[in-house]
Amino acid sequence: MLRTVIAREKIVWRSWFDGGSPEGPISTRWQVSSWPTLYVIDGKGIVRHVDEGGAELNIKAAEAVVDRLLREQASKR
């Protein structure tokens, strides 16, 4: 079922199903309390932004963080 949704919705980022509750092993480890939760992780594996907005995700804030990280990366070249 998950693969069908990923293909149909053209999801290109890593996704998983953790049993549908915040008590699953992945949700517990990452302290996820609502869905969707968005993490922006930099190239070194450091979490640079977390948004647990549920239906009200702040996509603009996440995009701003990604833009800043891309600018930082470009300036190092």
The verdict on pTM exceeding 0.85 is no
Domain count, the chain: 1
The CA angle 43-32-53, to the nearest 5 degrees, is 85
Assigned domain for 10 exists:
no
> Can you tell me the distance from the alpha carbon of 66 to that of 63, in angstroms, rounded to the nearest whole number?
5
> Can you tell me the distance from the alpha carbon of 52 to that of 58, in angstroms, rounded to the nearest whole number?
9
Assigned domain for 70 exists:
yes
What is residue 11's DSSP assignment?
A: -
User: What's the token pair of residue 61?
Assistant: 């804030």
The pLDDT profile of the chain, 77 residues, written as one tens digit per residue, is 778 888 898 888 777 778 777 888 988 998 888 778 888 988 889 999 998 876 677 888 889 999 999 999 888 87
User: What's the token pair of residue 49?
Assistant: 């932004």
Structural domain harbouring 67 = 21-75
Assigned domain for 6 exists:
no
Residue 44 three-state SS:
coil
